[in-house]
Amino acid sequence: PSGGRPLLDGAPDREARIRELLAARASVYAEAHARVVTDGVSPADVAGRVLRAYADRPLFVPLGDKSYAVRIAADGAASAADAVAALSPSSVFVVTDENVSRLWGAPLLDALAAHAKPAAAVTVLTPGEEHKRLAAVEAALTAMLDAGADRDAVVLAHGGGVVTDIGGFAASTLLRGVRWVAAPTTLLSMVDASVGGKTGVDLGPAKNAVGTFHQPSAVVASPAALATETDRAFRSGLAEVVKSACIADPELHALLEREADRVLARDPGLLAELIRRSIAVKAAIVARDERESGDRALLNFGHTLGHALEAEGGFVRLAHGEAVSLGMVAMLRVGCSLGVTDRAAADRVVRLLARLGLPTRIEDEPVSAALRFLSLDKKRRGSSVRTVLMRDIGSTFVEPMPLDRLSSLLERAAAGAA
């Protein structure tokens, strides 16, 4: 009698037929991010399990054969180890920093030993943007080569934006390129630095002047790690969330306005949603323009003056997000002065930044002194810089602008003109 399974009915050996079907479908099954077991479970329970699995679904950065998943995971150590194990590495090399190693290092190393392979070498960096230098990359590469790295090795960058920048850059240059996994532990690195494949270090006063485009094989972000982030670093990451909202997600901006208190209290569920939406904005733009020849420049909203202010302060006086916040305020004023930015929208953004504890008083900053660093901006083309202006919240565009004109507009913005 028919069992209602057309692909099995009539098969002389049903078990052999099941094995054939499993082999044929294995590559598709492997792409699934969750498995829902239904044996002996009621339909209502199955539905609940499916909904929970859907809520935990990964985001994808679609780049052809360089595509990868970004997973927001409750257990960051185990999920990062699973991501590494899925790559079947010959060896695993961890790049982290002193703070992350002290707080989260042991669980990660235990998870690697249990789920993948014990780390062949661990490079522990000195934390801070001022240490994002070629010497740090050399230290990581030396440790990997001394431990016998080959081209099937995987680098796991476990830390904030400085760590993922250095770890990814080391992976891109080790033996002319090996795979790497990003396990960001700060809000800024979760929503920005770890996604998109930009890697690199600073050289002199030039931020990210030496680097590569080298996409990770996977990204695993764990909001639980944010519980140990300092208030200043956490707020710095929020600047990049606001930036994402300004670029392409007005609903995210409205959510931040409504729930600012819960955001600052680090509500886990809300943080996961902020991270997911911010990554979705970046992933969509990177998918259109991986190497920043066009739309990807939108992700630099607030960064032109922001990077200059960071450089002027020796990468110590201002945190990255603080500089970006000030840079966004400046460009909102520039946009208003040019008649391209809705003034009410600009006011909303500035109020939100202030509500989140970020600096907005560009008048108090040494803008004139910082302008000499504009020529180091990577978006410069000859004597022009591709600046990013906002029409309205969720709508931005790139406008090439001569350096001298941009400098003049920024000086006026710093003086309070808008």
Residues forming the active site: 176, 198, 240, 282, 292, 296, 300, 303, 307, 320
Name the region of 53 (left: φ>0; alpha: ψ -120 to 50; beta: rest).
alpha
Tell me, what amino acid is at 5? R
Tokens of 343: 């003034």
In terms of Cβ atoms closer than 10 Å to its own Cβ (0-12, 13-18, 19+), residue 171 is: buried
Lookup result for tokens 């911010």: 278
Place of tokens 């990177």: 286
How, if at all, do strands 206-213 and 198-203 pair?
A: antiparallel
CA dist., res. 314 & res. 370, Å (int): 11
Q: φ, ψ for residue 312 (rounded to 5)?
A: -60, -30
User: First-to-last CA distance in the chain?
Assistant: 80
Cβ-contact 201, 137 below 8 angstroms: yes
Provide the angle, in degrees to the nearest 10, between the axes of the packed helices 250-258 and 231-248. Answer: 140
CA dihedral for 216, 218, 223, 224, sign (positive or negative): negative
Q: In angstroms, rounded to a whole number, what is the distance separating the alpha carbons of residues 59 and 42?
A: 29
CA–CA dist 297, 300 (Å, integer): 5
